[in-house]
């Protein structure tokens, strides 16, 4: 059994396109359920387009050897099928970049979607080239990374000693009280960014505070509870990148 299928027939072409659509659709379905920027249809179409680019390259290569061979001999045309794939990978960069957005509180979203689109395109290229076993293995690994490993990633972040919180409070004079609360729990303030928060009763200061927790005395939830319990604090939110 070979790893690739080089036959270029109509059934083979249909199978490659459907395989690319299926692989992209499976990944996109999970992103749709999480209401991400790019979902089921986007991933499916990018996979189909990538497979189509490889099939087009293979078609032109066959035509240059067959019906177009006389013209090629006269003109001296040179053809590199790999250029199609390279241009697809370059082009998907613009699509992936469009899915990365900056949200409030200096947070960035869409990185996983962007990498998923890139992986979907690569699977489409492999499907179009007939590298079926590679598509199947890649699909399983990507699903493992997106779904199975997500809870483990969250557990790791929760246990990490670095934490970033967004705090809304009534006066800028109380910022020192907030940082003193962090220090009193054996924490260390690493960085503070001052913002403004609009509430129903006016505009109040807010801050994004990056800190390092103590080794034994604090957890993420305990530190957030300590800050939230301060009488001049309106709200606390942990920012998870």
Among candidate residues 129, 156, 183, the one where a domain is terminated: 156
Q: Does pLDDT of 75 surpass 70?
A: no
Mean pLDDT of 183-194: 88
Residues 151 and 170 in one domain: no
Instruction: Provide the terminal-to-terminal Cα distance of the chain, rounded to the nearest Å.
Output: 44
Residues 134 and 17 in one domain: yes
Mean pLDDT of 9-33: 83
Q: Is the dihedral of CA 99, 206, 236, 199 positive or negative?
A: negative
Residues 126 and 103 in one domain: yes
Residue 195 lies in a domain: yes
Bridge partners of residue 196, in order along the sequence: 205
- The larger pLDDT score, comparing residue 103 to residue 121, is at 121
pLDDT of residue 3: 46
Residues 6+ apart with CB under 8 A from 173: none
Among candidate residues 156, 185, 209, the one where a domain is terminated: 156
**Helix (H/G/I), strand (E/B), else coil: 36:** coil
Residue 3 lies in a domain: no
Give the phi and the psi of residue 237 in degrees, each rounded to 5.
Answer: -140, 130
> pLDDT digit string (tens) for 30-48?
777 766 666 777 788 888 8
Query: How is residue 216 written in tokens?
Result: 């034994």
Residue 101 lies in a domain: yes
Mean pLDDT of 91-113: 70
Count the domains in the chain: 2
Q: What gap in Å lies between CA 226 and CA 125, rounded to an integer?
A: 52
Q: What gap in Å lies between CA 120 and CA 102, rounded to an integer?
A: 23
The highest-confidence range among 28-32, 78-82, 172-176, by mean pLDDT, is 172-176
Q: How far is CA 70 from the centre of its chain?
A: 47
Q: Does pLDDT of 103 surpass 70?
A: no
pLDDT of residue 50: 86
Residues 143 and 218 in one domain: no
Give the phi and the psi of residue 233 in degrees, each rounded to 5.
Answer: -95, 130
pLDDT of residue 179: 92
Among candidate residues 111, 137, 156, the one where a domain is terminated: 156
pLDDT of residue 76: 65
Residues 112 and 200 in one domain: no
**Helix (H/G/I), strand (E/B), else coil: 78:** coil
| Helix and strand element counts for the chain (H, E) | 9, 6
CB of 230 closer than 8 Å to CB of 177 = yes
> pLDDT digit string (tens) for 87-99?
787 778 777 777 7
Mean pLDDT of 150-169: 79
Residue 106 lies in a domain: yes
Residue 1 lies in a domain: no
Mean pLDDT of 4-31: 79
Residues 146 and 181 in one domain: no
> pLDDT digit string (tens) for 117-140?
888 888 888 888 888 888 888 889
pLDDT of residue 102: 59
> pLDDT digit string (tens) for 209-224?
888 888 766 688 888 8
- The larger pLDDT score, comparing residue 54 to residue 78, is at 54
Parent domain of 118: 10-156
Residue 114 lies in a domain: yes
């Amino acid at each position: 059994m070979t790893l690739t299928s080089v036959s270029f027939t109509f059934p083979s072409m249909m199978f490659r396109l459907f395989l690319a659509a299926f692989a992209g659709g499976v990944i996109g379905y999970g992103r749709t359920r999480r209401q991400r920027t790019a979902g089921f249809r986007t991933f499916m179409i990018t996979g189909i387009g990538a497979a189509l680019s490889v099939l087009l390259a293979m078609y032109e290569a066959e035509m240059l050897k067959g019906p177009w061979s006389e013209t090629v001999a006269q003109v001296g045309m040179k053809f590199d099928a790999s250029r199609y794939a390279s241009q697809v990978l370059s082009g998907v960069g613009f699509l992936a970049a469009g899915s990365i957005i900056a949200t409030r509180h200096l947070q960035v979203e869409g990185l996983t979607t962007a990498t998923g689109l890139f992986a979907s395109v690569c699977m489409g290229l492999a499907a179009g080239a007939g590298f079926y076993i590679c598509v199947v293995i890649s699909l399983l690994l990507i699903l493992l990374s997106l779904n199975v490993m997500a809870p483990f990633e969250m557990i790791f972040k929760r246990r990490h000693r670095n934490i970033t919180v967004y705090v809304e409070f009534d006066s800028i004079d109380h910022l020192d009280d907030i940082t003193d609360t962090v220090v009193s729990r054996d924490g260390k303030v690493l960085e503070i960014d001052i913002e403004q928060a609009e509430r129903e009763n006016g505009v109040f200061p807010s801050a994004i505070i990056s800190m390092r927790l103590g080794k034994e005395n604090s957890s993420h939830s305990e530190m957030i509870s300590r800050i939230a319990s301060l009488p001049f604090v309106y709200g606390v939110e942990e920012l998870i990148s």
